[in-house]
Structure 1
Amino acid sequence: MSRTAKPGPPPDPVRKPDPPKPPAWRAWLLPAAGLLALSLLFLPSILMNTPATKSLSYTDFLSKVDSGQVKTVQIGDKGAVDGTFADGSAFTSQLPTALGDTQLAQRLQARNVVITGTISSSGTNWTTIVLVVGGFLLFAGLLAWSGRSAQRSLAGGLGGFGRAKAKIIEAERPTTRFADVAGYEGVKQEVSEIVDFLRDPARYAAAGAKGPRGVIMVGPPGTGKTLLARAVAGEAEVPFLSVTGSAFVEMFVGVGASRVRDLFTGARDRAPSIIFIDEIDAVGSRRGVSGVGGHDEREQTLNQLLSEMDGFDQDSGVVVLAATNRPETLDAALLRPGRFDRQVVVPLPNQAERAAILAVHAGNKRLAPDVDLDRLARGTPGFSGADLANLVNEGAINAVRGNRVILTPDDLTAARDRVLLGRRETSNALLPEERHSVAVHESGHALVAALCEHADPVAKVTILPAGMALGATEQLPEAERHLYSEAYLTDQLTVRLGGRAAELVVFGQGSTGAANDLAGATDLAVKMVTEFGLSPELGPIGYPRGEGEFLPGGKEPARTYSEQTQHLIDEEVARLLRDAEERAVRLLGEHRPALDTLAGQLMHRETVDGGAVLDALGHEYETDHHGPSPAVLGNRAPSH
Structure 2
Amino acid sequence: MRWLLPVVALIVLIVVLVRTIPSAPVTTVSYSAFTQKVGAGQVKAVDINANGAVSGTLKDGRTFTTQIPTVLDTSHLDQLLRTQKVEVTGSRTTSGGGGWVTLAFLLVPLLLIGGLFLWTGRRAGRALSGGLSAMGRSKAKIIEAERPTTRFTDVAGYEGVKQEISEIVDFLRNPERYALAGATGPRGVLMVGPPGTGKTLIGRAVAGEAEVPFLSVTGSAFVEMFVGVGASRVRDLFGEARKRAPSIIFIDEIDAVGSRRGTARLGGNDEREQTLNQLLAEMDGFDQSSGIVVLAATNRPESLDPALLRPGRFDRHVTVPLPNQTERAAILAVHAHGKTVAPDVDWNVIARATPGFSGADLANLLNEAAINAVRAGGTVIDAQGLDDARDRVLLGRRESSNALLPEERHAVAVHESGHALVAALCEHADPVAKVTILPSGPALGATEQLPEAERHLYTEGYLTDLLAVRLGGRAAELVVFGEGSTGAADDLAGATQIAARMIREFGLSPALGPVGYGTGAHRLGTETAEEPLRRPYSEQTQRLIDEETARLVRQAEGQAVGLLREHRSALDALADVLAARETVDGTVVLDVLRRNRRGDDGLPGTGKVQET
**SS of residue in 1 equivalent to 2:411:** helix
Residue 429 of structure 2 aligns with which residue? 455
1:408 correspondence with 2:382: yes
How has the CA–CA distance of structure 1 residues 43 and 298 changed in structure 2, closer, same or farther, with 3 Å as cutoff?
farther
1:628 correspondence with 2:603: yes
Query: Structure 2: how far apart are the matches of 1:627 and 1:82?
Result: 135
Query: Structure 1: how far apart are the matches of 2:353 and 2:432?
Result: 11
1:398 correspondence with 2:364: no
Query: Structure 1: how far apart are the matches of 2:210 and 2:16?
Result: 69
Query: Structure 1: how far apart are the matches of 2:73 and 2:431?
Result: 117
How has the CA–CA distance of structure 1 residues 634 and 577 changed in structure 2, closer, same or farther, with 3 Å as cutoff?
closer
1:317 correspondence with 2:291: yes
Residue 419 of structure 1 aligns with which residue? 393
Residue 320 of structure 2 aligns with which residue? 346
> Which of 239, 251, 256 is matched with 1:277 structurally?
251
Query: Structure 1: how far apart are the matches of 2:347 and 2:52?
Result: 94
Residue 444 of structure 2 aligns with which residue? 470
Query: Structure 2: how far apart are the matches of 1:504 and 1:249?
Result: 58
The Cα of 1:619 is off from its aligned counterpart by 1.0
> Which of 246, 250, 255 is matched with 2:229 structurally?
255
Query: Structure 2: how far apart are the matches of 1:502 and 1:104?
Result: 122
How has the CA–CA distance of structure 1 residues 102 and 279 changed in structure 2, closer, same or farther, with 3 Å as cutoff?
farther
> Which of 182, 203, 227 is matched with 2:177 structurally?
203
Residue 600 of structure 1 aligns with which residue? 576
Residue deviations 1:417-438 (CA, integer Å, cap 9, x gap):
0110011111110000000000
The Cα of 1:633 is off from its aligned counterpart by 7.4
How has the CA–CA distance of structure 1 residues 279 and 101 changed in structure 2, closer, same or farther, with 3 Å as cutoff?
farther
> Which of 538, 545, 548 is matched with 1:569 structurally?
545
Residue 90 of structure 1 aligns with which residue? none
How has the CA–CA distance of structure 1 residues 80 and 538 changed in structure 2, closer, same or farther, with 3 Å as cutoff?
farther
Residue 87 of structure 1 aligns with which residue? none
The Cα of 1:169 is off from its aligned counterpart by 1.1
Residue 331 of structure 2 aligns with which residue? 357
Map 1:176-575 to 2 at 5 A: 176-291=150-265, 296-310=270-284, 312-547=286-521, 548-549=523-524, 553-556=528-531, 557-575=533-551
How has the CA–CA distance of structure 1 residues 590 and 202 changed in structure 2, closer, same or farther, with 3 Å as cutoff?
same
8 Å CA contact 1:326–1:550 kept in 2: the answer is: no
Residue deviations 1:74-110 (CA, integer Å, cap 9, x gap):
9988x799999xxxxxxxxxx9xxx976689999x99
Counting aligned pairs with the same residue, the percent is 66
Query: Structure 2: how far apart are the matches of 1:238 and 1:343?
Result: 22
Letter in 2 for 1:118: T
Letter in 2 for 1:259: R
Letter in 2 for 1:228: I
Residue 557 of structure 2 aligns with which residue? 581
8 Å CA contact 1:614–1:633 kept in 2: the answer is: no
Query: Structure 1: how far apart are the matches of 2:447 and 2:475?
Result: 15
Residue 27 of structure 1 aligns with which residue? none
Residue 28 of structure 1 aligns with which residue? none
The Cα of 1:45 is off from its aligned counterpart by 9.7
Residue 38 of structure 2 aligns with which residue? none
The Cα of 1:49 is off from its aligned counterpart by 7.0
The Cα of 1:292 is off from its aligned counterpart by 5.8
How has the CA–CA distance of structure 1 residues 510 and 146 changed in structure 2, closer, same or farther, with 3 Å as cutoff?
closer
Letter in 2 for 1:425: E
Bigger mean CA deviation after superposition, 359-368 or 246-255 = 359-368
8 Å CA contact 1:505–1:588 kept in 2: the answer is: yes
Query: Structure 1: how far apart are the matches of 2:369 and 2:213?
Result: 38
Letter in 1 for 2:541: T
8 Å CA contact 1:421–1:469 kept in 2: the answer is: yes
Query: Structure 2: how far apart are the matches of 1:253 and 1:102?
Result: 81
Q: TM-score normalized by structure 2? A: 0.83
Q: TM-score normalized by structure 1? A: 0.80
The Cα of 1:526 is off from its aligned counterpart by 0.5
How has the CA–CA distance of structure 1 residues 146 and 516 changed in structure 2, closer, same or farther, with 3 Å as cutoff?
closer
**SS of residue in 2 equivalent to 1:198:** helix
Residue deviations 1:322-361 (CA, integer Å, cap 9, x gap):
1111111111111111111111110000111111111111
The Cα of 1:503 is off from its aligned counterpart by 0.3
Residue 7 of structure 1 aligns with which residue? none
Residue deviations 1:581-606 (CA, integer Å, cap 9, x gap):
11111110010000000000001000
The Cα of 1:255 is off from its aligned counterpart by 1.6
Query: Structure 2: how far apart are the matches of 1:37 and 1:174?
Result: 47
**SS of residue in 2 equivalent to 1:257:** helix
Query: Structure 2: how far apart are the matches of 1:165 and 1:415?
Result: 39
8 Å CA contact 2:432–2:449 kept in 1: the answer is: yes
Letter in 2 for 1:220: P
8 Å CA contact 1:37–1:139 kept in 2: the answer is: no
Query: Structure 1: how far apart are the matches of 2:223 and 2:75?
Result: 77
8 Å CA contact 2:423–2:431 kept in 1: the answer is: yes
How has the CA–CA distance of structure 1 residues 447 and 302 changed in structure 2, closer, same or farther, with 3 Å as cutoff?
same
Query: Structure 2: how far apart are the matches of 1:331 and 1:38?
Result: 55
Query: Structure 2: how far apart are the matches of 1:362 and 1:488?
Result: 35
8 Å CA contact 2:141–2:217 kept in 1: the answer is: yes
Bigger mean CA deviation after superposition, 516-525 or 266-275 = 266-275
Letter in 1 for 2:362: L
The Cα of 1:574 is off from its aligned counterpart by 0.6
Residue deviations 1:438-462 (CA, integer Å, cap 9, x gap):
0000000000001100000101000
Letter in 1 for 2:299: N
1:590 correspondence with 2:545: no
Letter in 1 for 2:537: Y
The Cα of 1:406 is off from its aligned counterpart by 2.4
How has the CA–CA distance of structure 1 residues 146 and 434 changed in structure 2, closer, same or farther, with 3 Å as cutoff?
closer
Letter in 1 for 2:193: G
**SS of residue in 2 equivalent to 1:319:** strand
Query: Structure 2: how far apart are the matches of 1:73 and 1:522?
Result: 110
8 Å CA contact 2:5–2:112 kept in 1: the answer is: no
How has the CA–CA distance of structure 1 residues 371 and 141 changed in structure 2, closer, same or farther, with 3 Å as cutoff?
closer
The Cα of 1:170 is off from its aligned counterpart by 1.4
8 Å CA contact 1:37–1:136 kept in 2: the answer is: no
**SS of residue in 2 equivalent to 1:621:** coil
Query: Structure 1: how far apart are the matches of 2:52 and 2:603?
Result: 120
The Cα of 1:165 is off from its aligned counterpart by 1.5
Query: Structure 2: how far apart are the matches of 1:37 and 1:423?
Result: 61
Residue deviations 1:499-519 (CA, integer Å, cap 9, x gap):
000000000000000000001
Letter in 2 for 1:320: V
**Structure possessing the higher radius of gyration over alpha carbons:** 2
The Cα of 1:213 is off from its aligned counterpart by 1.0
8 Å CA contact 2:597–2:605 kept in 1: the answer is: no
* Structure 2 gaps, min length 5: 21-26, 35-44, 57-66, 82-86
Map 1:608-627 to 2 at 5 A: 608-621=584-597
Query: Structure 1: how far apart are the matches of 2:436 and 2:240?
Result: 59
How has the CA–CA distance of structure 1 residues 550 and 620 changed in structure 2, closer, same or farther, with 3 Å as cutoff?
closer
Query: Structure 2: how far apart are the matches of 1:64 and 1:508?
Result: 112
Aligned residue pairs: how many?
A: 570
* Structure 1 gaps, min length 5: 1-32, 55-61, 85-94, 636-640
